[in-house]
Amino acid sequence: MAAAASSTDRPGALDITRRLTEICGPPFARLAGPADEVAGRPARWVAVPGGPHAAAEVLRLAARHDLTVVPRGAGTKIDWGAAPDRVDIMLDTGRLAGIGQQPVGAHTAEIGAGTPLRAAQAALERTGQRLALDAPSPGATLGGVLAAGEAGPLRHRHGSPCDQLVGLRYLDAEGELVHASGGAPGLELARLLCGSQGALGVLVAASLRVQAMPASRIWVTRPVWTPLEVHDLVRTVLAARLDPAAVELDLPAAGGPRPRRPRAAEAAMARHPSMAGRAAVTPAGAGHLVVLLEGGPADVAERADRLVALLGGRATASHSAPAWWRRYPFGPGDIALRIEVPLTDLHAAVYALRDAAGTGPDRREGERAVAPAAPLDQRLVEPGQHLGQRLAVTDEHPD
């Protein structure tokens, strides 16, 4: 707080404050407070522009005075990635929100970067549509999801948020508004903003594909004990061509070895009078493999029955997601390591991390491995580099 106050007392600070107020309006430009920081770096000002042109003016002002700008949506992932050297202007995208008017039957929607993802989904749901995006961060904005490259379970079938882009409007570092859409080369260049944490530009709005809401959803759950067992089960699921919408794994590091019981003993237990009318008692796994099926009610029910039979007697089907679905296995103040690997190589990433750090990741989600990384050192970085996949460090923001 003291550092932020002293920095705004430098010559020119009052002029910057006045100019930001002129651009954004009196209620939407202010000196930064204690909560306006990125990884411990306090901001000097907060600007909440009312539209793309006002946001462009903020960036031009910053460029003229050699000030840094950090975009902020809901702030759910603002501490992810590398910390900035300093934060001069926090550009809040809260007023760059809304859903553009779309013709009836359109298969795309343009959504403002500051729009909360759940608000966009609620609006589309009223028309029987959805975005195939289910980022885990509660309250996340669309711009934040794109800037962080944050994907949820539906990535397995529909790809990352960046994969679903059909158009993008953003401001470059000089405050120029750039439009990229269709198959133009500019869209491929604009895709570089995905996962850039706002370092390459400020997202204004994105056009994404929309689809009909699935009529039915069923989660098939199977207890699991080891990464190798998961590897074999996933290969079985994929080979069965059941068209899963998502494949997720929850396998806490603290899970013990699989309990062993003779088959004869299990059969005798199932026949015992006390088991009459009750489901067979099976040992709880160290974790769970969950497969989501979506589609028409009859089709989904038929595929779920096939999958339960394929995974064995301990598999169950439910119309509700497990409690950990779309939730990160870390909380405020934790440091996590995200490694993106092909689904069929997930077990290798888990074993590599376990060998390097002496423990396993707390949870793997789809094509991602999320591991505790405190302290983070070369023992954890080297396995990710050896696997040749994307590796990133995330620091969960307390908000």
- This prediction has a pTM of 0.83
Q: Which of 49, 44, 83 is nearest to 66 (CA)?
A: 44
Considering the domain delimited by 108-212, tell me its CATH architecture: 2-Layer Sandwich (3.30)
pLDDT in tens, 267-319: 554 544 333 333 444 445 589 999 999 999 999 999 999 999 999 869 999 99
| Mean pLDDT for the chain overall | 82
Fold matches, 2-92 and 335-395: no
**Structural domain spans, the chain:** 2-92, 108-212, 216-261+282-318, 335-395
Q: Using a pLDDT cut of 70, give the percent of the chain over it.
A: 76
* The CATH number of the domain covering residues in 2-92: 3.30.43.10
Architecture of the structural domain at 216-261+282-318? 2-Layer Sandwich (3.30)
Round to whole Å and give the CA distance between 387 and 122. Answer: 39
Q: Could you list the beta-strand ranges (E) of 172-258.
A: 177-181, 202-209, 211-212, 216-224, 246-250
Predicted pLDDT at 394: 59
**Whole-angstrom distance, CA of residue 208 vs CA of residue 163:** 9
Backbone φ, ψ for residue 82 (5° rounding): -70, 140
**Pick the residue with more confidence: 208 or 266?**
208
Which of the listed CATH numbers 3.30.70, 3.40.50, 3.50.40, 1.10.10 matches domain 335-395? 3.30.70
Place of tokens 């590398």: 82
